[in-house]
């Protein structure tokens, strides 16, 4: 595996040099069970740049995605499949800004979309049996495990990606329910309603889904007739009451911008929030960003309000196998007990293996 990752790393090094990005290594995570397949490997290329405008002066998401997409194009599905024939593979690029910084000499991909515009993606629902038959998901995968565990009849596909059921927010919600009485939950980004099912099992009646996608809302209304479903965008949704728990499941790239715009509002209306924040190695950049890691401060677009720290006295990161999450809690939450119960459920520190090139 190490030699295969080095081989991939050197191909990436050659191609990303065109963008003045220097690949210094690879880090990776082998999940206990991958999302759609039984086995997986999630890979991030460590990249250094001296160019503070790598993502544009005000951050353009198209520039963030350009090197990520380039890795899939350069390595190619055929090569990736031949290197890891029986594993689900995810690729990402983690860009570290290094001093001394230099004035940019080249232009990266031009931004074509606003950073917040992730909401129009096509959503569809598939039966697990048909996905198993077509080989798209496997026995032993996370998707299948959670469909079975919560009696969910469908998997949600968003664009080309299987987006729900996920693991970290539902596991965190279950853990919270063992530490305090949870009477009310708001979930923004509902998917197939995994957390709604967990809420029903825990006797929670006051549950609201917010989802921007009309097809997703239609689906949730059909399957959760007693819960409120609001077809709204997280960025404009009015928090006008208190929730014991808020679950954020809107898509990892939006999280820093959501916090910048709505962080204070969010914090004023809940006791605890769980952000689904990434996949170990994939969108790790956004995960570290909202955790408030110090190395982000020199980027020209960065502000502390894109992190959870200004809004919650307790903030910690954790992961449930491959899915990372960041939790913000107020002082009325018994954090030590919650962290203990989460560890007992299988939450653990985020851990990578590294290969230096
Ligand atoms: C990854 S799925 C959620 C998975 C779900 N939380 C689970 O645990 O299974 C993402 C959902 O967020 C919704 N979404 C994406 N961007 C949103 C936004 N800005 N506001 C509200 N909903 C959004 C999508 O329509 C989709 O239903």
- 2-97 is a CATH 3.30.300 domain: yes
Question: From atom 22 of ligand 1, which residue's Cα is the shortest distance away?
Answer: 211
Q: What's CA 338's distance to the chain center, in Å? A: 21
235 class by beta-carbon count within 10 Å (0-12 exposed, 13-18 middle, 19+ buried): middle
Residue among 195, 211, 262 whose CB has most ligand 1 atoms within 8 A, to mutate: 211
229 lines ligand 1 (CB under 6 A): no
Distance from residue 276's CA to the centre of ligand 1 (Å): 10
Task: State the DSSP code for 137.
Answer: S
Give the atom of ligand 1 at the shortest distance from the alpha carbon of 189: 12
Portion of the chain with pLDDT greater than 90, in percent: 76
Fold of 166-348: Rossmann fold (3.40.50)
Residue 169 in 3-state DSSP? helix
What's the pLDDT tens digit per position in 168-203? 999 999 999 999 999 999 999 999 999 999 999 999
What's the pLDDT tens digit per position in 38-60? 999 999 999 999 999 888 888 88
Which residues in the chain are classed under CATH 3.30.300?
2-97
259 lines ligand 1 (CB under 6 A): no
Rounded distance between C-alpha atoms, residue 158 and residue 287, angstroms: 21
49 lines ligand 1 (CB under 6 A): no
Choice between 151 and 109, residue whose per-residue pLDDT is larger: 151
Residue 287 has pLDDT above 90, yes or no: yes
**Residue 336 phi/psi, 5° resolution?**
-60, -45
Residue among 191, 221, 282, 323 whose CB has most ligand 1 atoms within 8 A, to mutate: 191
Mean pLDDT along residues 232-247:
96
Distance from residue 190's CA to the centre of ligand 1 (Å): 5
Residue among 113, 157, 190, 216 whose CB has most ligand 1 atoms within 8 A, to mutate: 190
Which residues in the chain are classed under CATH 3.40.50.150?
166-348
Distance from residue 229's CA to the centre of ligand 1 (Å): 13
278 lines ligand 1 (CB under 6 A): no
Q: Which residues pair with 96 in a beta bridge?
A: 48
Q: Which residues pair with 317 in a beta bridge?
A: 326
What's the pLDDT tens digit per position in 82-138? 889 999 999 999 999 998 787 666 555 555 555 555 555 789 999 999 999 999 999
Confidence of residue 335 (pLDDT cuts 50, 70, 90): very high
């Amino acid at each position: 595996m190490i030699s295969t990752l080095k081989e991939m790393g050197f191909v990436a090094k050659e191609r990303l040099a065109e963008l003045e990005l220097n690949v210094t290594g690879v880090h990776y995570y082998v999940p206990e069970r991958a999302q759609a397949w039984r086995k997986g490997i999630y890979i991030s290329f460590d990249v250094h740049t001296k160019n503070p405008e790598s993502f544009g002066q005000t951050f353009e998401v198209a520039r963030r995605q350009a090197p990520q997409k380039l890795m899939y194009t350069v390595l190619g599905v055929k090569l990736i499949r031949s290197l890891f024939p029986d594993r689900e593979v995810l690729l990402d690029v983690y860009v570290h800004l290094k001093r001394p910084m230099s004035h940019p000499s080249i232009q990266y991909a031009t931004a074509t979309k606003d950073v917040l515009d992730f909401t129009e993606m096509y959503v569809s629902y598939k039966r697990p049996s048909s996905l198993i038959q077509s080989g798209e998901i496997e026995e032993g995968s996370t998707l299948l495990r959670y469909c079975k565990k919560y009696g969910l009849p469908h998997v949600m596909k968003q664009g080309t990606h299987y987006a729900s059921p996920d693991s970290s927010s539902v596991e965190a919600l279950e853990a919270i329910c063992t530490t305090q009485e949870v009477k009310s939950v708001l979930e923004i980004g509902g998917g197939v309603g995994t957390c709604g099912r967990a809420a029903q099992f825990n006797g929670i009646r006051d549950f609201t889904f917010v989802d921007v996608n009309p097809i997703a809302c239609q689906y949730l209304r059909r399957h959760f007739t007693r819960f409120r479903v609001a077809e709204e965008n997280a960025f404009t949704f009015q928090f006008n009451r208190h929730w014991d728990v808020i679950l954020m499941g809107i898509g990892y790239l939006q999280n820093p911008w959501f916090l910048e715009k709505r962080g204070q509002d969010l914090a004023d209306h809940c006791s605890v929030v769980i952000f689904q924040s990434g996949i170990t190695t994939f969108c790790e950049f956004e995960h570290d960003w909202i955790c408030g890691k110090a190395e982000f401060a020199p980027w020209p677009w960065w502000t502390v309000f894109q992190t959870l720290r200004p809004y919650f006295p307790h903030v910690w990161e954790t992961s449930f196998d491959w899915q990372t999450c960041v939790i913000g809690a107020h002082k009325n939450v018994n954090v030590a007990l919650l962290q203990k119960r989460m560890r007992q459920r299988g939450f653990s520190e985020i851990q990578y293996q590294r290969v230096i090139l």
